Structure 1
Amino acid sequence: MKLITKELEKRFAEVGDQSQSSNPLIIAKFFNPCGSQTWYATEFYKENEICFGYSTGVGFDEWGSFSINELQEVKLLLPGLKIERDRFFKEIRFKELIKEQDLEI
């Protein structure tokens, strides 16, 4: 599965920089189907394939950058499984997401 599609690239470009927002729009969700790791992307920088967003299940929850190329290269314990993009994820504001998912901030 391709983690960043042309449609997602376009949407990230439309939304643009959200670094000054206290309640950014989460545009895409990536997850480990074998574990608890989840990455919620608010921004994508095509030139270096880097997203900015909120990650959970990776030691502790935090805002930061993550590499799409590195996510695509992760080797999971079960053969054939890789980090996936939630194709059914609907855009949501961060504050609504934390209430809905009962996340810690």
Structure 2
Amino acid sequence: MILLTPEIRAALRANDIARIDAVATGKREPDPVPVVRFFNPLGPATWLATELDPDGILFGLADLGFGCPELGSFALGELKALRLPFGLGIERDILFEGRHPLSVYAEAARRAGSLVLAEGMLKRAARSLRGGR
């Protein structure tokens, strides 16, 4: 599977450039909505990415399934190179649509101890705010 389409790559790069510009001009760093979600199809590891630097380093929220999701950097090349049993690799969630700033996902994941559990809680909360629809 192609982990980054040209459109996703462009959105990630735009977020990186916006952050660099904010730092350079003394503005508050943006809190972008995640652009892409990666996951291990055979395990609990999940990543949300908001930025991509020119060297292929992503920034976002990583949850390797040990109960301590954290914000940080991870290498696109390492995600691509990871080989799992049955010839599988890390996948891109083609249905993912970021709905909250990264800080919201990070705080919910920290409280839940899991990004996957946090995503479910955020969906339920949003549905409740819309009146159960």
Q: TM-score, normalised by structure 2?
A: 0.65
User: What's the Cα RMSD here?
Assistant: 2.4
Find the counterpart in structure 1 of residue 129 from structure 2: none
Find the counterpart in structure 1 of residue 88 from structure 2: 81
Work out the CA distance in 2 between the residues paired with 1:96 and 1:70: 23
Work out the CA distance in 2 between the residues paired with 1:96 and 1:58: 15
Contact 1:27 1:92 in 2 (8 A): no
Find the counterpart in structure 2 of residue 40 from structure 1: 48
Find the counterpart in structure 2 of residue 53 from structure 1: 60
Find the counterpart in structure 2 of residue 24 from structure 1: 32
Amino acid at match of 1:82: G
Larger radius of gyration, structure 1 or 2?
2
Unpaired segments ≥5 residues, structure 1: none
Q: TM-score, normalised by structure 1?
A: 0.80
CA displacement at 1:6 relative to structure 2:
0.5
CA displacement at 1:58 relative to structure 2:
4.3
Work out the CA distance in 1 between the residues paired with 2:60 and 2:80: 17
Amino acid at match of 2:39: F
Work out the CA distance in 2 between the residues paired with 1:51 and 1:2: 15
Aligned residues between the structures: 100
Work out the CA distance in 1 between the residues paired with 2:119 and 2:2: 26
Find the counterpart in structure 2 of residue 14 from structure 1: 14
Contact 1:49 1:68 in 2 (8 A): yes
CA displacement at 1:96 relative to structure 2:
5.9
Considering fraction of residues, name the structure with more strand: 1
Looking at both structures, which has the greater relative contact order when contacts are Cα pairs under 8 Å and sequence separation is at least 6?
1
Considering fraction of residues, name the structure with more helix: 2
Percent identical among aligned pairs is 34
Work out the CA distance in 2 between the residues paired with 1:102 and 1:29: 17
